[in-house]
Amino acid sequence: MLIYFLDMFGTAVFAASGVILAGRLRMDPFGVVVLASVTAIGGGTIRDMALGATPVFWITDTNYLWVIFVTCLISMMIIRRPRQIPWYFLPVADAIGLAVFVAIGVEKALRFEASPMVAVIMGVMTGCGGGLIRDVLAREIPMVLRTEVYATACILGGIVHTSALAIHVDSTVATMAGIITTLTIRLTAIRWHLSLPAFAPRQ
């Protein structure tokens, strides 16, 4: 139940990030909802389609859609007063949602008897897929393709999660270990502005 509520929290945060980008691009309300939706549930949708999990999760549980719609309404009202929101709120909340999404992706892949490597990939896809679609629609370079420590945190969290299960650690403990790993790495990168070295050919 805790993971489910954190999943809903992550859905709301990811949807809010889509609303913020849509506002920056001056989209109409329909565009706001579309960008928020693909950000919040895009990664999980791709994961379920890749795993053959039909119907996808938000069709069987429409709470995800209601969370997105409500988040859009609230965010569009709050975004008019951005100074009332601390600068660190969205990145930290995003990190929490990211960590939970990765763990859920790993767990679902393993339930479909995927290998640990595929489970890690599905975790990364769940955490980063929606943001990638959002940035492509907004004509921006996706965050996962920049030097920011984002996808790397997902990969390491997924590895810790699957490794713990491989040595027969309790499922709940393994899930929490993966979440804490992803969250710690991401928050550390935010706090100290860490980034990966950029690839650039010599002139």
pLDDT in tens, 190-201: 999 898 888 777
Dihedrals φ, ψ of 162, to 5°?
Answer: -70, -35
pLDDT in tens, 52-95: 998 999 999 999 999 999 999 999 888 766 566 677 888 998 99
Report whether pLDDT(146) > 60.
yes
Percent of the chain with pLDDT over 90: 75
Note the pLDDT of residue 81. 62
H helices present in the chain, as ranges: 2-24, 29-51, 57-60, 63-78, 89-111, 116-137, 151-166, 171-192
Note the pLDDT of residue 83. 60
pTM for the structure as a whole: 0.93
